[in-house]
């Protein structure tokens, strides 16, 4: 289903890919320490970090899977993203100062200080599992338009794109990641807007036809407002969004690493505000693109569409309806969307692996050069896992990758949000109360996961919408930890480790 090569399209892609590779090579010469490789010497301004956070979070799930979700169903999956401002306030007031105190590099160093090594390892492993699954999903989405554009088999496409991303990420470290993210955010906006404008211009009645046709097919719906655990209702998706963004702002290393890479606490807060302001319009833009895509193929029926998966419809439109040069720009935007997330995740995984596992446990007392070299080896290994994950997602049956991503986040996210919330907002809960609550919550998480996959007999399985798993597990953990704290007193000094003890502390300085 590939299309003919067009010189202007190829030129647009070469310019984009060449600039990304050039940035990776340029920054590779500056990475002589882990401090430079992981946090760029903590020197970035707020606007740079804000655009980097946007670029990292939107990914190709935004560019391809959001339109696919709106094309297939409606706007209900946007509801979770509307919860962003609620959690952004907490991040600005509470989370950022916590992570910037004491020169932390990893989110999970805080868990170690607050609850000890077991909680730190649990958080680290949960993050690593989630990220490895996520980057496989995103690389698969990135490979779709390249596959359609060139006709190269999807497996080969995954390998080529994966190797390219690994090259500049491994070489350039966090500086290459952040600056390429800024460029990629701009390219993504341009690509999305250009594509939408061209689509509207092709419709006989323009933008008015979009609303007329979409409303007649209920494409702007946000889901039922009934309270039903077995359906993707408004409340299901909204609660999922709250927990997702709480997790992102409080425990996602991709975000925490940007907090600590900022020049100051003020710049980190400015970055979070910039991200929160621009993210919602960006997500809404791509849902509207999906709705417009539905209207376009309703007005101009194409028999090929019925044979495509939802995530392939937008790339098909790009490659068959857009003029030469413009299609190349849009494909570059899709690549930009995916690469901005993949490079961040690869670097974050390498950072967490070194800071939270190798330094304190497996490779104690080694030189900084050794840790830097090992971090690059880990990044290479993660890149291989990413390509393997993408192969897997290319063959499984799915409604859309956006739906899959929410299920994965809910089922495999574990108790991370609960751990950080208990740590930040309670004084009485210590590691002695956390450990039994964590064990019970993990067992319940496994039970719910096995129920959803059908690995348990029907008689003992629980029929529940997959989106609810993360909410249930985190709430269960919080309740149990707090109950256990009444029987097992916290004996650890938590000065400066909770909201309440930080407010009282006079000797804790936030840099």
Residue range 459-471: mean pLDDT, rounded: 74
Rounded CA gap, 483 and 493, in Å? Answer: 20
Task: Rounding to the nearest 10 degrees, give the CA dihedral for residues 86, 88, 89, 93.
Answer: 150
Residue range 312-336: mean pLDDT, rounded: 76
Sign of CA dihedral 201, 297, 222, 252: negative
Half-sphere CA count of 93, side-chain side, radius 13 A: 10
Task: Band the pLDDT of 267: cuts 50, 70, 90.
Answer: very high
Distances (CA, A) of 410 to 62, 242, 493: 18, 12, 33
Give the pLDDT of residue 102.
65
The full 3-state SS of 255-324, as one line of letters, equals: HHHHHHHECCHHHHHHHHHHHHHHHHHHHHHHHHHHHHHHHHHHHCCCHHHHHCCHHHHHHHHHHHHCCC
Radius of gyration in angstroms for the set of CA atoms belonging to the chain, rounded to a whole number: 23
Residue range 252-274: mean pLDDT, rounded: 89
With beta carbons less than 8 A apart as the criterion, state whether 142 and 157 touch: no
| SS3 (DSSP) at 32 | coil
Rounded CA gap, 164 and 178, in Å? Answer: 17
Given a cut of 50, whether residue 273 has pLDDT beyond it is yes
Residue range 482-497: mean pLDDT, rounded: 85
Rounded CA gap, 41 and 44, in Å? Answer: 8
261 or 170, which is more confident: 261
Tokens matching residue 335: 């690549």
Backbone phi and psi for residue 101, each to the nearest 5 degrees, phi listed first = -75, 140
Sign of CA dihedral 193, 197, 202, 206: positive
- Encode pLDDT of 167-201 as tens digits: 767 766 777 778 877 887 787 788 888 888 988 99
Total Cβ atoms within 10 A of residue 211? 13
Distances (CA, A) of 340 to 180, 329, 406: 7, 16, 19
Tokens matching residue 195: 């594509």
Tokens matching residue 222: 């946000």
Give the pLDDT of residue 507.
44
44 - beta bridge partners? 262
187 or 59, which is more confident: 187
Please provide the DSSP assignment of 389-432 as one string.
HHHHHHHS--S-HHHHHHHHHHHH-TTHHHHHHHHHH-SS--HH
Backbone phi and psi for residue 398, each to the nearest 5 degrees, phi listed first = -155, 150
Given a cut of 50, whether residue 508 has pLDDT beyond it is no
Q: What is the pTM of this model?
A: 0.79
Give the pLDDT of residue 56.
75
Backbone phi and psi for residue 510, each to the nearest 5 degrees, phi listed first = -95, 120
Proportion of the chain above pLDDT 90, given as a percent:
10
With beta carbons less than 8 A apart as the criterion, state whether 49 and 333 touch: no
Rounded CA gap, 355 and 349, in Å? Answer: 10
Rounded CA gap, 319 and 304, in Å? Answer: 13
Given a cut of 70, whether residue 307 has pLDDT beyond it is yes
Tokens matching residue 164: 């390219």
Tokens matching residue 110: 């805080």
Please state the length of the chain: 511
Highest average pLDDT, of 10-19, 102-111, 378-387, comes from: 378-387
Backbone phi and psi for residue 31, each to the nearest 5 degrees, phi listed first = -90, 90
Give the pLDDT of residue 482.
93
Q: What is the CATH number of domain 7-400?
A: 1.20.1730.10
Proportion of the chain above pLDDT 70, given as a percent:
87
Backbone phi and psi for residue 350, each to the nearest 5 degrees, phi listed first = -65, -40
- The residue extents of the domains of the chain are 7-400
Rounded CA gap, 417 and 245, in Å? Answer: 9
């Amino acid at each position: 289903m590939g299309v003919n090569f067009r010189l202007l399209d190829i030129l647009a892609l070469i310019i984009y890919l060449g600039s990304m590779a050039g940035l990776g090579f340029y920054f590779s010469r500056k990475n002589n320490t882990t401090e430079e490789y992981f946090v760029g010497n903590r020197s970035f301004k707020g606007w740079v970090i804000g655009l980097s956070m946007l670029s990292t979070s939107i990914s190709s799930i935004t560019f391809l899977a959001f339109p696919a979700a709106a094309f297939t169903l409606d706007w209900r999956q946007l509801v979770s993203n509307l919860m962003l401002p609620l959690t952004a306030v907490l991040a600005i007031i509470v989370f950022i100062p916590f992570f910037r105190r004491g020169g932390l590099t990893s989110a999970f160093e805080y868990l170690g200080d607050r609850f000890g090594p077991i909680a730190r390892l649990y958080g680290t492993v949960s993050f690593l599992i989630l990220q490895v699954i996520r980057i496989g999903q995103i690389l698969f989405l990135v490979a779709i338009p390249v596959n359609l554009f060139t006709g190269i088999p999807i497996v080969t496409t995954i390998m080529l794109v994966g190797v390219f991303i690994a090259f500049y990420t491994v070489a350039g470290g966090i500086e290459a990641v952040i600056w390429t993210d800024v460029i990629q955010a701009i390219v993504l906006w341009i690509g999305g807007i250009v594509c939408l404008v061209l689509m509207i211009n092709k419709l006989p009645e323009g933008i008015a036809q979009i609303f007329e046709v979409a409303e007649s097919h209920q494409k702007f719906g946000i889901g039922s407002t009934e309270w039903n655990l077995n359906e993707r209702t408004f409340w299901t998706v909204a609660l999922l969004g709250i927990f997702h963004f709480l997790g992102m702002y409080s425990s996602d290393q991709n975000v925490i690493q940007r907090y600590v890479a900022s020049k100051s606490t003020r710049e980190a807060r400015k970055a979070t505000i910039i991200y929160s302001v621009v993210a919602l319009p960006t997500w809404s833009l791509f849902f509207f693109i999906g709705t417009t895509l539905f209207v376009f193929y309703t007005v101009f029926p194409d028999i090929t569409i019925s044979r495509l998966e939802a995530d392939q419809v937008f790339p098909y439109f790009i490659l068959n309806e857009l003029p030469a040069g413009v299609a190349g720009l849009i494909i570059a935007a899709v690549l930009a969307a995916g690469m901005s997330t993949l490079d961040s995740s690869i670097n974050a995984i390498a950072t967490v692996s070194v800071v939270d596992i190798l330094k304190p446990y497996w490779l104690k007392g080694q030189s900084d050069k050794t840790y830097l070299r090992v971090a690059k080896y880990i990044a290479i290994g993660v890149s291989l896992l990413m390509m393997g994950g993408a192969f897997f997602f290319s063959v499984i049956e799915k409604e859309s990758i956006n739906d899959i991503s929410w299920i994965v986040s809910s089922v495999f996210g574990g108790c991370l949000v609960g751990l950080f919330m208990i740590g930040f907002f309670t004084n009485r809960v210590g590691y002695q109360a956390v450990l039994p609550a964590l064990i019970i919550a993990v067992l319940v998480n496994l039970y719910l996961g096995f129920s959803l996959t059908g690995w348990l007999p029907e008689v003992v399985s629980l029929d529940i919408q997959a989106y609810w798993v993360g909410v249930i597990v985190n709430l269960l953990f919080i309740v149990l930890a707090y109950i256990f704290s009444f029987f097992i007193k916290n004996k650890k000094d938590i000065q400066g480790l909770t909201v309440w003890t930080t407010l009282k502390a006079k000797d804790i300085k936030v840099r």
